[in-house]
Structure 1
């Protein structure tokens, strides 16, 4: 069973990691990949950060709160970049990142 203290944040991080990976893969299939470069970079960083944050919370690591603070920042940056693009995968990613950032900010408080 997931640590109930962290459950909603773990779920938001896990979801965000998957949505970011999907967005990055979809961006690579776009006609103008160069235009999507920053989005892809942030998607990959955000996916990794979210995955690690979820693992740290699952372990009840003493570093979880500090890591969640950084994860929230990366999620906000990714949401801002993805939000600039009209592709459905970018808009879905921006939304998942915003939700994850909110959960991580609550956790880090």
Structure 2
């Protein structure tokens, strides 16, 4: 499958990367940073796997389904953690993570 056929997923991955990076940066500036530690860690995990999957899809990886399955798991974990926090950046990140997980599952 060519990367053009995965364009919807690539777009969702890019949206998730941006949201996770923004959330990561904003969480580092929160007053109670210890409370945000898991959110920060998962933001990094999620942005990294999304970035890798987007690149792999552009290379027409034969592991698209396997990588998408792992990515969906990490996106859901990040979304679940972000959803626990009332900060706007966390809520937006959760939405992007869940949207990305949904598209990942469609090819996994």
Shorter-normalised TM-score: what interval? over 0.9
**Structure 2 residue aligned with 1:57:** 57
Mapped partners of 1:12, 1:51: distance in 2: 11
In the superposition, the TM-score normalised over structure 1's length comes to: 0.95
> What's the Cα RMSD here?
1.0
| In the alignment, structure 1 residue 78 sits paired with structure 2 residue 78 | yes
> 1:76 deviation in Å?
0.4
Q: Which residue of 2 aligns with 1:103?
A: 103
Alignment gaps of 5+ in structure 1: none
What residue ranges of structure 2 are gaps of 5+ in the alignment? none
Q: Distance in 2 between matches of 1:101 and 1:85?
A: 19
Match of 1:90 in 2: 90
1:14 to partner: Cα distance: 1.1
Write the distance in 2 (CA, Å) between the matches of 1:14 and 1:85. 23
Count of residue correspondences: 107
Structure 1 ranges of 4+ moved more than 4 A? none
- Give the C-alpha shift of residue 4 in structure 1: 2.4
